[in-house]
Amino acid sequence: MNEIRTVLVVPVESPPLEVIPDMIETRFPVYRQYHYQAMPYYVFLEKEIYKNPGGVLIAGLVSEDDSVSVADIQKTSVSMEKSDSLEPAASLSDNWTPTFMLAKQAVSQLNSEGIKAVLSDNYHRLPIASGNRDANLGNWRNAIEQWYNQSMASVDYRQPGLEHVDAVLEVGIGTYSIFDAQTSLQVLIKLIDPNTRQVIGRISDKTFSVEDAPQTLLHHEAEDFKRLMTKMGSQLVNRGFSDLGLPLKVSGQYIQPYQ
């Protein structure tokens, strides 16, 4: 690869947000009483992926008469359960997906550097079986780690309409949480040669911000949280591009993977 002039930016499926302490204590104050009673919480609460009014997907406890709704996570067909795939981004239009925001940031920054960047109409769906596509964050972490550590792209980008793309940039996230007043975000970026499917560079970077408590950040439409994620994500994407050496104009350059 002599030079990168055109890049296809593909967001990777995001895990649900982890919030500690659980938001159930704010929505359902009587929950605290059960700490002092013999009845275990799982009798009246279930851990689910739910969607707050701002469309943010959160892994947490939900009561039977809760004010939030359990998210309709798209199920995977049997043939796709253990494989990565590209799915229409429009299918997640009802959800606020942080990697979509990061991908847009990446496109904007690359364009400002003189590289023609195009946002994909599809997102990279993680290989998680339908039965494991739940609030167990370990399932999501395993799938993200599997995707990030691959030395060859699991998706074939040699498709009609992409003949003139010099490189593919996949943008994902690892750590994504609010712990009391500390918000953490980890951005994972992979640079791929679409002709050989070889991963020619990868970067992992993370940051945190001590702002407001989750109750404040996620209040109403979660606008404060989204603004904070955009700010943190933009900084990480910019640092990631610098570490990757973009814009890349050195013949045969291989970017050392993040250790």
**Which residue, among 59, 62, 134, 56, has the nearest Cα to 94 in the 3D structure?**
56
Give the mean model confidence (pLDDT) for residues 101-118: 94
* CA 37/CA 76 separation, integer angstroms: 40
Residue 258: closest CA among 99, 103, 148: 148
Longest dimension (CA), the chain: 67
Distances 201 to 78, 191, 239, 242, 248 between C-alpha atoms, Å: 31, 5, 14, 12, 11
Residue 202 placed within a domain? yes
Choose from 1-10, 29-38, 175-184 the range with maximum mean pLDDT.
Answer: 175-184
C-alpha–C-alpha distance, residues 66 and 192, integer Å = 44
Higher pLDDT, 248 or 188: 188
Residue 58 inside a domain? The answer is: no
Write the CA distances from 91 to 30, 73, 76, 244, integer angstroms.
36, 10, 13, 31
Residue that wins the pLDDT comparison between 29 and 246: 246
Residue 172 pLDDT: 98
Tell me which DSSP letter residue 31 carries.
Answer: G
Record the tokens describing residue 100, joined without a space. 């979509």
Reduced to 3 states (helix: H, G, I; strand: E, B; else coil), residue 204 is strand
Per-residue pLDDT, 6: 93
Three-state SS for 101?
helix
Q: Which residue range(s) make up the domain with 237? A: 6-21+77-244
Residue 119 lies in a domain: yes
Total tally of structural domains belonging to the chain:
1
Q: Report if residue 56 sits inside a domain.
A: no
Q: Is residue 225 part of a domain?
A: yes
Cβ atoms of 31 and 41 closer than 8 Å: yes
What span, in angstroms and rounded, lies between the C-alpha atoms of 128 and 64?
27
Q: Over 90: is that where the pLDDT of 208 sits?
A: yes
Give the C-alpha separation, 238 to 248, whole Å: 14
| CATH code of the domain containing 166 | 3.40.50
Taking phi over 0 as left and psi of -120 to 50 as alpha, with beta for the rest, 174 belongs to alpha
Please, what is the average pLDDT of the chain?
Answer: 85
- Could you tell me if residue 234 is inside a domain? yes
Question: Given this model, what pLDDT does residue 124 score?
Answer: 96
Residue 60 within a domain:
no
Question: Region 73-98: what's the mean pLDDT?
Answer: 76
Sequence-ordered list of residues with C-beta below 8 angstroms from that of 165, at least 6 positions apart, any chain? 6, 7, 8, 118, 157, 194
Among the ranges given (47-61, 66-80, 245-259), the one the predictor scored with the smallest mean pLDDT: 245-259
Tell me if 167 is assigned to some domain.
yes
pLDDT at 81: 55
Handedness of CA 254, 114, 96, 216 (dihedral sign): positive
Q: Which two tokens stand for residue 230?
A: 């955009």
pLDDT at 82: 55
pLDDT tens across 165-182, in order? 999 999 999 999 999 989
- Which pLDDT does position 249 carry in this prediction? 43
The pTM for the full model equals: 0.87
The residue-averaged pLDDT of 230-238 equals 95
Q: Could you read off the pLDDT of 110-129 as tens digits, one per residue?
A: 999 889 999 999 999 999 98
